Structures are given as structure tokens and as C-alpha cells.
């Protein structure tokens, strides 16, 4: 894999290839869907194919900021108001004015920016995770682990999207 004049090899190339493969599976799941189909909830969950792509984009951008030492919230900064809950729920569906093509284009931009970080950041730099009810204080993640987490999140949601797509029209990403 090359960028401008720099060849990416070893661990960085592995991370880029692994992340790229799972992004492909997620994007492929949406191939050929209309906006309406991308927003269908064919199972009992709130998840939609378009919403999952939107969610993965948001999560990837959040973690990419974290990997740069930005975007870490302060303890107790989030109150779960009706507006915050609605915003969270809207991550999982296309809302008024959003299209599948638009969500996919935004995902491509975020993915390209993350890939550049994989190529350039010090993978051993570590930051403390924000306080959360499920997270004890004092836990640090390396930038490497952040990129692996983005990959795991992408793979997990690509599987969810595949189930949704199969429920919509029988298409499977693999098989």
C-alpha cells in the first residue's frame, strides 16, 4: 500500500487491509438499496442498513479524534436528556434530508482520514479512556488498540447489516 511517496508495510499495512476489508463488507451490504430500503427495520431491532453505516461513521470519527488526543469527554459531561437520547437513536436510521448515497460519501471521507492516521500516528501513544459507567477510571488505550477497536466495531456492524439486508431482499454479503 502506498501513499504519496511513502510505502506502508508491516503492522500499519495489516491494520489498513483488515479495516478496509470490513468497511468493504459494510458498504457492499448497502449496494443497490434505495433510500427507503436502507431505512427499513426488517427485524425487531431499531437498526437499519443506512443507520448502521451512519453509526459506524460517527463512531469511527469519534475514535479517530481520540487517537489524536482530541475529543475526550470530561466525567459526568453527558446528561441523558430526551434530546440526547433522540440524537443517539437517530444515529441508527436515516433522518429527514439524509440519503444512503450521502451517508456512504461521508463514510468514505471519514475512512480516508482514519487511514491517513493509521499511516502517520505513533501507534504506541496511549490516552486515558473517558469515564463511563462500564469503564473503571485509569484505563489507557494505545492508538493501535483504537484502530483495532474501530475494525472490530466495523466488523460487528457489518454482520448486523448483513442480517438486515438478507431480511430485506435475500441478498447476502458473503455466501
Residue 148 has pLDDT above 80, yes or no: yes
Residue 174 has pLDDT above 80, yes or no: no
Residue 9 has pLDDT above 60, yes or no: yes
Is the separation of the CB atoms in 60 and 53 below 8 Å? no
Q: Specify the pLDDT at position 105.
A: 98
Prediction pTM value: 0.89
CATH of domain 2-169: 1.20.120.450
Q: What is the mean pLDDT of residues 10-27?
A: 97
Helix or strand (DSSP H, E) at 60: helix 49-67
Nine-digit cell at 44? 425487531
Q: Specify the pLDDT at position 172.
A: 85
User: Where along the chain do its domains lie?
Assistant: 2-169
Is the separation of the CB atoms in 68 and 117 below 8 Å? yes
Among 59, 49, 30, 32, smallest CA distance to 92 is for 49
Nine-digit cell at 40? 427499513
Please state, in angstroms and as integers, the Cα–Cα distance from residue 138 to each residue in 65, 69, 74, 102, 146, following that order: 19, 16, 13, 38, 16
Is the separation of the CB atoms in 35 and 100 below 8 Å? yes
Q: Where are the alpha helices (DSSP H) in 31-48?
A: 35-38
Between strands 6-7 and 126-128, the pairing is unpaired
For residue 131, what is the DSSP state? P
Q: How far apart are CA 158 and CA 18, in angstroms?
A: 13
Least confident of 4-8, 36-40, 121-125: 4-8
Q: Specify the pLDDT at position 78.
A: 60
Residue 3 has pLDDT above 50, yes or no: no
User: 39-84 pLDDT, tens per residue?
Assistant: 999 999 889 999 999 999 999 999 999 999 996 554 445 677 888 8
User: 86-134 pLDDT, tens per residue?
Assistant: 888 888 899 999 999 999 999 999 999 999 999 999 999 999 998 777 7
Is the separation of the CB atoms in 161 and 172 below 8 Å? no
For residue 89, what is the DSSP state? H
Q: How confident is the model at residue 137 (pLDDT cuts 50, 70, 90)?
A: confident
Amino acid at each position: 500500500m502506498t501513499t504519496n511517496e511513502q510505502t506502508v508495510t508491516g503492522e500499519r499495512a495489516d491494520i489498513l487491509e483488515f479495516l478496509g476489508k470490513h468497511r468493504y463488507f459494510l458498504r457492499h451490504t448497502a449496494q443497490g438499496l434505495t433510500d427507503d430500503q436502507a431505512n427499513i427495520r426488517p427485524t425487531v431491532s431499531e437498526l437499519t442498513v443506512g443507520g448502521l453505516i451512519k453509526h459506524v461513521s460517527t463512531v469511527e470519527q469519534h475514535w479517530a479524534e481520540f487517537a489524536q488526543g482530541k475529543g475526550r469527554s470530561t466525567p459526568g459531561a453527558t446528561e441523558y436528556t430526551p434530546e440526547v437520547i433522540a440524537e443517539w437513536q437517530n444515529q441508527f436510521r436515516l433522518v429527514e434530508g439524509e440519503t444512503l448515497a450521502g451517508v456512504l460519501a461521508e463514510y468514505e471521507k471519514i475512512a480516508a482520514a482514519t487511514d491517513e492516521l493509521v499511516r502517520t500516528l505513533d501507534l504506541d501513544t496511549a490516552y486515558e479512556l473517558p469515564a463511563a459507567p462500564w469503564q473503571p477510571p485509569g484505563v489507557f488505550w494505545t492508538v493501535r488498540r483504537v484502530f483495532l477497536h474501530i475494525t472490530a466495531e466495523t466488523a460487528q456492524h457489518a454482520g448486523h447489516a448483513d442480517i438486515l439486508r438478507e431480511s430485506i431482499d435475500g441478498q447476502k454479503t458473503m455466501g
